[in-house]
Amino acid sequence: NAGVTQTPKFRVLKTGQSMTLLCAQDMNHEYMYWYRQDPGMGLRLIHYSVGEGTTAKGEVPDGYNVSRLKKQNFLLGLESAAPSQTSVYFCASRTSGGFNEQYFGPGTRLTVT
C-alpha cells in the first residue's frame, strides 16, 4: 500500500504558467482533499471531492481548478500561476464512513516567481 502519493514533489513556475498536480490513493477512499500550507496559516482547504465526478469548493478556491475523473486520482490545476500561490500543497483522502480521519500525502512544494 503506497497510501497517498503526490506528483511532482517540487516545481518552480513563472508567473502566468500553468501546471497540474496529481494526487493518487490506493486505499479505495471516496473522499479526497487538496490543502495549501503557508507559514503561520496552518492548512487551508482548496477543493475537495466526495466521489468520482464530483468536486466542491473549500476555503480558498480562487485560482485553482480540480477534477476527479477516476476514484483514485484527484488533480489540482493552476491555469495562470501567481506568486501568491507559492506554497506547499497537500492532498488527503478518507473513507466515506468513519469520522473524517484523513490520510495525507507527502506534499508538493511549489514556487512561483
Partner 1 sequence: AQSVSQHNHHVILSEAASLELGCNYSYGGTVNLFWYVQYPGQHLQLLLKYFSGDPLVKGIKGFEAEFIKSKFSFNLRKPSVQWSDTAEYFCAVSPNSGYSTLTFGKGTMLLVSP
Contacts with partner 1 by CB under 8 A lie at 33, 35, 40-45, 48, 50, 58, 90, 92, 99-107
Complex with partner 1: residue 62 or 99, whichever CB lies closer: 99
Give strand ranges (E) for 1-113.
4-7, 10-13, 19-25, 31-38, 42-51, 54-57, 65-67, 73-78, 87-94, 103-104, 108-112
Smallest gap, in angstroms, from Cβ of residue 95 to partner 1?
12
Q: Judged by CB, which is closer to partner 1: 67, or 104?
A: 104
Q: How far is the CB of 11 from partner 1 (least distance, A)?
A: 17
Handedness of CA 67, 1, 31, 85 (dihedral sign): negative
Taking the complex as a whole, the smallest distance from the CB of residue 18 to partner 1 amounts, in Å, to 25
Q: Which is nearer to partner 1, 28 or 100 (CB)?
A: 100
| β-pair partners for 77 | 20, 65
